Chains A and B, each alone.
Chain A
Amino acid sequence: MARIGVFICHCGENIGGTVDCAKVAQSCSQLPGVVHSVDYKYMCSDPGQNMIKEAIKEKKLTGVVVAACSPRMHEPTFRRATAEAGLNPFLCEMANLREHCSWVHPKEEATTQKAIDIVRTLVEKLKRNEAIFPIKVPVTKTALVIGGGVAGIQAALDIANGGHKVIMIEREPSIGGHMAQLSETFPTLDCSQCILTPRMVEVAQHSNITLYTYAELEGLEGFIGNFKVKIRKKAKSIDEKLCTGCGLCTTKCPQKKIPSEFEQGLGSRPAIYVPFPQAVPNKPVIDRKNCTYFTQGKCKVCEKICPTKAIRYEQTDEIIEVEIGAIVLATGFDIKRTDFFPEYGYNKYKDVIDGLQFERLASASGPTLGAIKRPSDGTTPKTVVFVACAGSRDPAKGIEYCSKICCMYTAKHAMLYKHKVHEGTPYVFYMDIRAGGKMYEEFVRRAIEEDGVKYVRGRVSRIYERNGKYIVVGADTLLGAKPLEIEADMVVLATAGIANDGAEELAQKVHVSYDPYHFFAEAHPKLRPVETNTAGIFLAGACQAPKDIPDTVAQASGAASKVQNLFSNDELTREPLIAFVNRMLPPYYSTCVGCFLCQTVCPYNAIEKEEIKTRDGKLIKTIAKINPGLCQGCGTCVALCRSKSIDIYGYTNKQVYAEVAALLSD
């Protein structure tokens, strides 16, 4: 006979303020099989957990239902407490009274009734639970870091310095990400490359890190501790072992006018190229779309010039297969381009540029060697207008969020401009100045007070060209929406930060959730910001949401420490919520008829054939068998099986049918 204990948590006011917990406890004490039913302020606190443990012992409970928050929050807590009291942890179920009830419904009778229904449902399920035991799986102590921006670099170095192997893949020819493109960085104005380049080199030289640039994830299988990945190493068209990085080829290539991605189109590069002088690795790749040989069938100038005979036109993409235990996603972000804004002339005006283009203009290694010049005619702009929130916080543009970094880099840009063009006048159009962060407010103040940047509160409605000048039309909302026109020589749009190209496809490949803007979703917005919903896959940097370098690096170290946490175990225990094929005594052995339809639907190839033989080896029957090491417990085979021969622990047919029945019996 079942002897079930029910424990109703008030969660302070969170549940107790809406649901009449005492009434729920009272009502549940009447349920058949329930021998103990109480309510308490905080079940997850020590006294709360002790209440459960004592009740298990004293009342000889065969199972407990904790009606509190979401099981996604505290199921491990209460299962542990259950186990500590000597009961199998899977004989503990949680009823979600907070996220699914008290937080979403008003304080009224119907809400308390719903709470009672939820508990009753779980009690009926629990009566059909079985004691099951965790499965142990080994951990492959190698991490995969996807993306080689500052986030990936930090995570890789942390994990590698912790003594574990790391494989890093970066889809561009060099690591560095956006930080490598920046001139100077807020809030200290230190040179971005000066602080980043040493770390890039460290990644390339670290004995624990294997770096694949020009490489992308091809496929992923497996689960936490035991992933198998396929990496596509795109053909660089050079033999990396022979190439010394002398760079001769890049000077002789006849294609010279290809817009450089690194310079944001403000400079050009040849078809065989290294994206920027400090690139890591510092060896060229051939951009086949633009190479004369690949497009027209002849040229081969680089092959002739290369002193080490390193050019390989016939090279093909290579697929590398590796086994790893954890993944850090660090694929970063991008920004909207000026062509997104009809009101700002699409891409029509050469001197209306985006923030990254301004970074390149201001960078000492950029196309103008750090001089602020108009892209159109190379003159020094006398008046520059910076437009914050270009696209961000604008439901009409489909981007409702704040991109977070633009207020700060706009202040930085205006400041850098003023430092370089002393007689120039910088204007900033802004909606609010968001400068939360250590030394950030002071930084913006400095721009306004020391460098005389003119801040105008209001949106820019239109930009048009008149006699080589750009007329910026806006309104000063602090002066009663007074219309305002500024004649500018150059305009810099702080365009919205957006998810990187290919983020959605990557999320689907590795099975992590993502938000409507394609930023990867963290497992919990507050308490699990570096984990994803998929065990063993972590997040670092701007791939989760636009963020600045300090936040990026902090999150990357957080993700790295999670990985090291995982790698500190030789074995992981996995929840045994997996499928099984029923077995019974002869002459039936199993209701499985051996159609093996289940084999065709299992995404993990976890279903094998098992031959049942007589003692003298004669085949009686072939039935399905589930490999517990491979089954991930999706249950697709269970719903599919026509003879109902497969079931799944934790969600058995008995359990779910009993839940439905309990729910609807009032």
Chain B
Amino acid sequence: MPNFEPKIVAFVCNWCTYAGADLTGTSRIKYASNIRIIRFPCTGRIDFMLLLQSFALGADGIIVSGCHPNDCHYTSGNFHARRRWMVFRSLLDFMGVDINRIVFSWVSAAEGAKWAQVVNNTVEQVKKLGPYENYKKLGQSFF
């Protein structure tokens, strides 16, 4: 699949990664345009069912990104997200969902360059994995 352009959905928090991605823009750092960002108040708000829905509707990869540990605007939301992710991850793995398609990262409001890197790396990684069809088919019976 030479010209495969994956669809990547990013769930990011308002205070760190959304602002970090703004800084990427302000600094005019270029990155792959496969990414679509959805803004949340905090990674703690991110309901991981959204990840499954994304795959079911055709996403090839997902990024979840928020404040670094200890830096959460709301003190502890990112810790809840991290803990939830640890559990969810093993569940997904068990269910046969390819967890290499989900990238969990911390990007602060000052890390514009890092955001570009996270996106580019994810796009590269998902390109290697190819389009994600399994879950899409599975998902059609739910939605």
Known: A521-B110, A601-B80. Contact between A105 and B30, CB under 8 A?
Answer: yes
Residue B25 at the A interface, CB < 8 A?
yes
Known: A513-B16, A650-B41, A656-B50. Contact between A634 and B74, CB under 8 A?
Answer: yes
Residue B90 at the A interface, CB < 8 A?
no
Residue B22 at the A interface, CB < 8 A?
yes
Encoded as 1 (CB less than 8 Å from any B CB) or 0, chain A from 83 to 96 comes to 00000000000001
Residue B116 at the A interface, CB < 8 A?
yes
Main secondary structure, interface of B, reads loop
Taking the nearest CB of chain A, how far is it from the CB of B110, in angstroms?
4
Residue contact B26 to A103, C-beta cutoff 8 Å: yes
Residue contact A533 to B53, C-beta cutoff 8 Å: no
Residue contact A664 to B75, C-beta cutoff 8 Å: no
Encoded as 1 (CB less than 8 Å from any B CB) or 0, chain A from 413 to 440 comes to 0000000000000000000000000000
Residues of B within 8 Å of A258, CB to CB, are none
Taking the nearest CB of chain B, how far is it from the CB of A156, in angstroms?
26
Taking the nearest CB of chain B, how far is it from the CB of A134, in angstroms?
17
Encoded as 1 (CB less than 8 Å from any B CB) or 0, chain A from 653 to 664 comes to 100110111011
Residue contact B40 to A121, C-beta cutoff 8 Å: no
Residue contact A664 to B76, C-beta cutoff 8 Å: no
Residues of A within 8 Å of B5, CB to CB, are 110
Cα–Cα, bound, A365→B5 (Å): 69
Residue contact A664 to B54, C-beta cutoff 8 Å: yes
Residue contact B44 to A639, C-beta cutoff 8 Å: yes
Which of A111-119, A352-360, A374-382 lies at the binding interface? Answer: A111-119
Of the candidates A99, A111, A577, A648, which one forms a contact with B22 in the assembled complex, judged by CB atoms under 8 Å apart?
A99
Encoded as 1 (CB less than 8 Å from any A CB) or 0, chain B from 97 to 114 comes to 000000000001111000
**Inter-chain contact total with CB atoms closer than 8 Å:** 150
Encoded as 1 (CB less than 8 Å from any A CB) or 0, chain B from 20 to 34 comes to 011111101111010
Residues of B within 8 Å of A515, CB to CB, are 110
Known: A70-B25, A663-B36. Contact between A648 and B41, CB under 8 A?
Answer: yes
Residue contact B33 to A110, C-beta cutoff 8 Å: yes
Residue contact A114 to B33, C-beta cutoff 8 Å: yes
> How many A residues touch the partner, as a band?
35 or more
* CB neighbors of A among B47-101 (8 A): 47-48, 50, 53-54, 57-59, 67, 70-77, 80-81, 84
Residue contact B73 to A534, C-beta cutoff 8 Å: yes
Taking the nearest CB of chain B, how far is it from the CB of A344, in angstroms?
30
Residue B45 at the A interface, CB < 8 A?
yes
Residue contact B22 to A70, C-beta cutoff 8 Å: yes
Residue contact A525 to B33, C-beta cutoff 8 Å: no
Residue A507 at the B interface, CB < 8 A?
yes
Residue A453 at the B interface, CB < 8 A?
no
Cα–Cα, bound, A663→B59 (Å): 9
Of the candidates B26, B74, B109, which one forms a contact with A99 in the assembled complex, judged by CB atoms under 8 Å apart?
B26
Q: Which residues of A contact B (CB under 8 A)?
A: 70-72, 96, 98-101, 103-106, 110-111, 114, 117-118, 121, 507-508, 511, 513-516, 521, 525, 533-534, 577, 601, 603-604, 632-636, 638-640, 648, 650-651, 653, 656-657, 659-661, 663-665
CB-CB nearest 9 A-B residue pairs: A635-B45, A99-B25, A636-B44, A634-B74, A103-B25, A664-B57, A515-B110, A603-B75, A105-B33
10 contacts between A and B (CB under 8 A): A100-B22, A121-B36, A514-B71, A533-B73, A603-B76, A635-B77, A636-B45, A657-B53, A660-B38, A660-B57
